[in-house]
Amino acid sequence: MTSTVERAEDADTAAFQGLPQRRLFLPLFVFAYFGVALAAVSAPAVSIPLRLSELDPEHKTQMLSLTVAVGGVLVVLITAPLGRFSDASTARSGIRRPFILGGSLLGTVGMLVLALAPNIPVIMVGWILSQAGFASTNMALNALLADQIPARIRARVAAMFGLSTGIAPVIGSSLVGALPGDPLYWFGIPAAIALGASLGVVLVLKDIVRTRATPVDWRSLLRSYWINPLRHKDFAWAWVCRLLITMSLFTVITYLLYFLTDQLGIDSEDAPSAQGTVLGVYFVFSVVTTLVFGWVSDRTGRRKTIVWTSALLTALGLLISLFAHDLTSFCVGIALAGMGQGAFVSVDVAMMTELLPDLDSAGTGQAVIALSYQLPALIVPGLATLLLAIGDGGPNYIALFTAAVIASAAGGLAVLPIKNVR
């Protein structure tokens, strides 16, 4: 199940091209990504808001912001060192396998703590554990994209990742809405799916096993947070693009349930179902563009053009949703945003892996990439708290969604200076 790879230090062997994998690897690889996304996205988008509405309905938005921010801080702090430890690992089971399975086990424990939490402090403890575990699994899965997936099909595999991420909140919302009104189901079922999916890919993966130890000290751990933006300008611009686009979507998804109830006037009992409808529309319209533009990008080699146009389409869709007065018009805007995001996620991931300075340290590089979609969990709650507090008429969702539109448009513009990809 493993292959031993000795790394030479010369430039000719710096970029590892991957190991021949079993036929089941690719579908199980994508399913593992979906399973982890299901657990990690459905909790803050649906299950945690529902629990906070029960425990502290008066301060639910503030408590949601605080909970998400605390988890975001942890993920930002630990993902890059985890990538460094994974790259340097000499474990017999491989450099990625222990981080995939171990992370899923810890994430499952955290989800069970969330399900049984009697108060908000325990909710935060459970989310910290979940975030720590799933951050480890995500880091390793994303590193496998660079380790084991050839560049010629990487956009199509990234497209499947995008579909997995897109369908996860849809299924999560629908699943929670269909399950009995017991937090053990809300958190336990997604966690069980994530754990089972991670186990599946671990069993078939032909992982890299290193026989030469690489020293890891505090200096190397600090360096794992950093890729010099002056030396690697293209990567820096792509990173900023991903950060802004993720901030935009993270804002909408995190506060969607409250937007539907407080802004559109949907009853709390019907909100999870309405949220599932919105996310379902988003997913359906993103599917076609994800598959089409992943294929187009691989065939033509074009990455940048697709990324910036899709980001601007996302901004347009969110702008339409901003002025919606009912669920139908809101879904029209979300449909356009879904089309934009479908194209974006399939191509952006491939573009960023191709701009990595050193593919031989894919875990560390992917950890830096991960910061671009983890920092929003830290940045957005603080900004959202300020934006929601504007005015005296209750939570100001107009200000919040306006900021999301601006972030998406700015993300599209950020990719224009990139020179080394088309």
pLDDT in tens, 25-48: 888 998 998 999 888 887 877 788
Work out the pLDDT band at 255, boundaries 50, 70, 90. confident
**Burial grade of 407 (CB within 10 A; 0-12, 13-18, 19 or more):** buried
For residue 84, the model assigns a pLDDT of 78
Kindly state the average pLDDT of the residues 286-308. Answer: 81
Greatest CA separation found in the chain?
64
> What are 355's two structure tokens?
């701009």
For residue 5, the model assigns a pLDDT of 42
Give the residue with greater pLDDT, 158 vs 235: 235
Coil vs helix vs strand at 5: strand
AA identity, residue 409: A
Burial 311-347 (b: 16+ CB within 10 A, else e): bebbbbbbbbbbebeebeebbebbbbbbbbbbbbbbb
For residue 10, the model assigns a pLDDT of 33
Work out the pLDDT band at 86, boundaries 50, 70, 90. confident
Full-model pTM:
0.65
For residue 17, the model assigns a pLDDT of 45
The closest alpha carbon to 379, from 244, 222, 258, belongs to 244
Compute the mean pLDDT over every residue in the chain, rounded to the nearest whole number: 81
Kindly state the average pLDDT of the residues 230-252. Answer: 87
Tokens 């979940």, located at residue: 130
Bridge partners of 3, per DSSP, are 208
Task: Give CA–CA dist 396/398, Å, rounded.
Answer: 5
For residue 7, the model assigns a pLDDT of 36
Report in angstroms the alpha-carbon separations of 216 from 73, 81, 328: 23, 10, 54
Q: Specify which of 135-144, 204-213, 286-295, 376-385 reaches the highest per-range mean pLDDT.
A: 135-144
Is 15:173 a contact under the CB 8 Å cutoff?
Answer: no
Eight-class DSSP state of 394 = S
Q: Answer yes or no: is pLDDT of 59 > 90.
A: no
**Burial grade of 122 (CB within 10 A; 0-12, 13-18, 19 or more):** middle
Tokens 């499952």, located at residue: 108
Eight-class DSSP state of 255 = T
Kindly state the average pLDDT of the residues 112-133. Answer: 91
The closest alpha carbon to 212, from 101, 95, 357, 99, belongs to 95
For residue 16, the model assigns a pLDDT of 40
* Lowest pLDDT segment from 10-19, 69-78, 327-336, 365-374: 10-19
For residue 290, the model assigns a pLDDT of 82
Taking phi first (over 0 means left), then psi (-120 to 50 degrees means alpha), and beta for anything else, what does residue 391 get?
Answer: left
Instruction: Name the CA dihedral angle for 323, 324, 330, 332, rounded to a multiple of 10 degrees.
Output: -70
Length of the chain: 422
Tokens 């605390």, located at residue: 70
Task: Give CA–CA dist 52/67, Å, rounded.
Answer: 10
For residue 359, the model assigns a pLDDT of 54
